[in-house]
Structures are given as C-alpha cells and as structure tokens.
Structure 1
C-alpha cells in the first residue's frame, strides 16, 4: 500500500485529499511519493521472472507513483480499482471499448461531451456497435429504449454546456435490469461533490486535466470501477498498452492536495456571478444547476453536495455575431476550450450535434469557467462583454 495507514478513515474531504497518496514512513520520511521514471523492472532470479512473483514487473503495469494516485482516487470514489489514462477522452473511450463488441447496443445521453459523441459515431459505429442517443429528460422512459443487446448506458450529469440533470440512481437501475453497465462522466462535480458508485453507477469517469490537476498544465483521465467491472477494465487497459507519464501523475497528486479549497472558491465565485447574471437584461437564461430557477435544480439538490465553477449563459437574441462580440470584448476571461484550472475561460457552445436535447432558442450559449480571480474583476469583464453586445443593437 502506498498510502499512510494511520490516516483518518472518516475524515473530511480536505483531510483526505491532503493525506491521500502519501506514505512518508515508506519513503524515508518524504511527504510526497517519489516519481519513478523508467520502463524496465529487474527480477532477482528466473523463477520470480517466470512467475511474475513480485509487485512490479514492467512500468506499463504500474509503478509506486501511479499506484499512489490510483489509490488516492479509490479513496475518494469508494471504488474497487482505478485506472489512469493519458487524457479525459481516453477515460471515456477505454471503458466503452472494454464493454462493447460488434452487435451490441449502447445508449448515450444526448447532452454528452461532444468528443464522446464523435467517438461513438465513428469508431463504435465502425466496430458494428449500434449507437442510440436519449433525451436527458427521458426519466423512466429509458427502460423502453433498452434492448436485449444493450450493454452500456452512458450518462453525463450535469450535461455538457447546458447542464441538464437526471436521476442517476434510477438510470443505473434501468441499465442493470437490462443487463447493461452504467458509466458516468463525473468531471464537473468531482468525487468531492458526487460519488457515482454510491448511486448505482459501475464506472466513474474523470478528466483529471480539470479540477484534480487544477493548473492547466497536464492531460490525464481516470476511470474508477466497482468490483464487478474493474478486472475487465484493467485487462482492456493493459491489452491496449495505455498508461500515464510519471511527471504528470505527480502533478495530479500535487493538485489533489488543494482541490478541496480550490473547488470551494470556484463554487462560491461562480454562484455569485450566476445570481448576478440572472438579473442582467442581456441574459435570457443562466444554465447552472445550483440555481433554484434552473429546471433541473431539484434533481441536482437531491443528489449532489456542491457545484463547481462551470456554467453557461444564454444571450437574449442574436447568434454568432453577438457571441463573438461578447467574447472578443473580454480581457480577463481567456478564450479556450478547457476548464477546471485556476484561470477563467469563455467559449461559445456549439450544440449543433444535438438530436433531442436541443439548444436554447433565445440566443447563443456562452460557457463560462470561473477561475480563482476576484469576483469583482470578473464581473467587470463580463459587463464589458455585455456592453459590446448592446453596441451591436444601437
């Protein structure tokens, strides 16, 4: 074990984050685990080599550095095992490859992360998997979409860009009743604010690039699985030959130590700005599940213990011209596709690939990542963007 066996077992999440992945007594007193660079592992004799009778056999199969992060994530997720992958998208694609074969059917929520849809519509379709999307508001109607050959129900809550909510326990139960596994992309909430496996999900997916890394300087993903699905997930990872770099692993371990307090700041700042934006004439709607005005608020409140720094606004009228005017007037908010780092970002959401969860009709959707800057400064920057939209109307 790479963790400290004396750490509190029922401590708060900040205590667990600070202590996770650490075993100072096992590493000569150093508070952080060492970063193991290498591929080859030596065996003491041929018998051990033939039996692989030692913990580490080759770096692809794990090192003390990757073990530390995997075990830290298991502690946060309550999972039987976690695998690490070189990007958040890989954390989506590997479990889909693990549990789908030619002739199978997969149900995917229509408000899913766009690259997930792209993978499903290209690679999975070429594999002979039947891909079907469902409305996040389907509720119990999901059961009528299940087929005898349905093997995976893929969930994301809140949904990408528009933050639709759903009853995750009910959806997972429907998947299991039909003989399928339930997967959920939990990047928005992190395991601090939602633990999918406690709600019936089999595999919890994260882009560690986002809040766990927290500093916009790495790419990584993880999949945390229950006991029923972990072995197949790990075997698929090894068959594909995918693992992660030691330096990036060390950076995520570092990021975890402060994720709790960073998330508190992201949450507080985002909610302040979201409440203010609800009163702005230029904004038709604010898409944030923690707002009482949001259509999925009750579902969010009944399942999640907090919210993060990502939400969207719907401008009142216009299209790409108005969206571009808003974005181009911003000085503090960077124009970038990622989120979860220390800096604020903004991007226009392209929802043209939606089939059922249609884009809001009032105007363009702008996604805001609220970083760690002062709220007053971010508000002034957004006011500049709204003023630029108003100038187009003059």
Structure 2
C-alpha cells in the first residue's frame, strides 16, 4: 500500500509540475487552455473552472494541456448545416447548438451559409425555408453545444498560432523547465535536511564493526597525514585508502585540538571494475541553506549529464532498448526505493523529474522538443509549416511513442513476472 501511495504521489507531482509549466505560460500569453489533464484515456474525475476543464484520466502515461489552435478544432461549421442559436441580452450569439436542437426549444434555428469564428466573429445564414440572409454577431466567449457538452469558441487572438515565436517557444519549453526546477528544489531540500558533503578530510560517521572502529577512529576526526604524506581533502584521503587494500596505513588525526597516531588496515572490496580498500567511514555532512543551492545545481547537472550519456549510448547501440523501463518498471523500482526510506524516495523523484524534462526536449514528433523544432523552422523560414502537415507528423510520432511504451511495458512484465 505504501508503494501505491508513493507511486501515485510521485507520478501526480511530476506530471502536474510539467503540465503546470505549459498551463501557466499559455495563460500568461493569453492562450485559451481547453483542458489540463493528468493521465490519458477515460476520465476518472473532471471539473470545470472558468475556461478550463481539469481532468484526471485512467492511464498513468503522462498528461497534457490542450491549448486552442495547437491541434485542429473538433467542431467546424459548414455551409448548409442547420444549427440553433441562443443569444445574450445584448443580442450576441452565446450558444451555438450543433445537434439535439429539439432539447433547446428557444434556440433560433438557421441554415449556415458562412461562419467566421476566428476573426470577424460572425455567422451568416438563412432561417429555414426563408431567402433573406441574416448576419449574427458572436460573443467572444460563446460556446458550441454538441451532445449537450459545451466547448468555448477560440477567436484567433486566443489561439496558439496567433502568439509570437518567443511566446510559443516559452510555452512549449516551460514544461521541461518546471521539471528541472523541481529537481533543483528537491536536491536543495535534501542537501539542507541531510547535509552537504564537505571537501575536508573530516570523518562524519564510523560504521560499526568496521576497520576504522577497530582502529579507534571517531566521528569528527580530521585526517592530517597518512604515512607522513599531508592530507587536506576527503578525495586525497579516499584515494590513498582505496589504493591500499589490506595494507596497514599509519594515520595522524586531529581530535579535540590534539594529534593522535592510529593504524588501520583497509578491507579489500570488489567493485565492477577493480578491487579497492575501504575502512568503513563516511564523509562529514554540513547543513547550510546557502550551500544547499549550489549543491543542488551540481547534482542536477551531474544527473542530467548521466542521462544524456545514456541516451547517446542508446542511439549508438551501446545501450539496448530492452534496458528501458516503462510504468511497470518504474513502479517496481519505486517499490524498492520506498523500502530504503523517504529521503531516498525524494532523491528518486528528483531523478525521474529531470529524466522527464530531458526526454520531453528530445526533437521527436509529439514531444515538446519536436514542437519546438517546428517553431524554430518557422523562425528560419519566416512562415509557419502547414498546420495539417504538422498535425500528421505529431500524430504519427505519438502513435510510435505509444507503441514504444507498449513494447517497454511488455519487457518490464517479462522481467518481473515471466
């Protein structure tokens, strides 16, 4: 149960932060945000506030912010179509009844000849069996009513395409950016709560039953010399110990303003690449709000670098697609991390957050990076790519991503259950 709660919290947080970035910058640019969704597939929960429908959907595969004009509009009035109109007290159209007009007995039914709901905001047409053409002015916040569901119209100045290139680029980049900021924030919190490793050769903790405990080392001891070689940093101390497994080392330590001579024999420990010496001590940790910021930036940078190297290895074939993990694999890994404590769970959340940000910036169709490519091409060409062609590219890209997700999930299931 703890794992389920942790996974839902983690997934919800990562997707919410990502989509909130898209949402807030769309709002700031004046775009009409139709839906803010967590998950894909059938709706589990929905509520509408102002112009936006907020939904939680069944499949935990991500989320989306649906901005008017970013994808083709679902409803389009055609010549000859019969629609019903309802009006504001000032005479402007505020409801356009697309079907089920019998449920709206007060609606004024017309046959459409022409409709411009992008720029002029008018509908022209005829009353049934009449020849006199009528023109109706449409309110900027009028809604379509189809199957008794309301969808607000989007004048051109509220659509994605109407905004400047920097505004559109920022709206697309804002999702990954928020994931990077979340990672930095989590690492800063961890750095302040747990402490930040100091660079000095000071022992923070001595493990029970270790060679260091047997030799008499204590927390707070400062290593001054090893075999008459001066030591000033933890890296120097660690390197000497690692290079001398099962070799007695004479060390000079400072404790309570006194110098002591201690001898220790590092254990021989096997790693992936070599055998190293270890004496069972941990570095001293310092709690500092100020230092936690550069510490979190450094950890975020190193993690981003590791992810980019892994992606490069995947492209060059050094990393197999079978090693990728989908939701099932992430859930299993989360289960293992949860067992090790809340702090490790936070660190895992930070790692997934920056991973989500980087993956979304890849120049692949349907991802934020793919959409940014089209915005960049428009900046270079001086005119936009045909929206229908761009839509087809993103649709194909999304379908391929879903196929990849299915393959990865199947691999996860085979690893865990078969």
TM-score by length of 2: 0.25
RCO (CA 8 Å, sep 6+): is it higher in 1 or 2?
A: 1
Higher strand proportion: 2
TM-score by length of 1: 0.26
Name the larger-Rg structure.
2
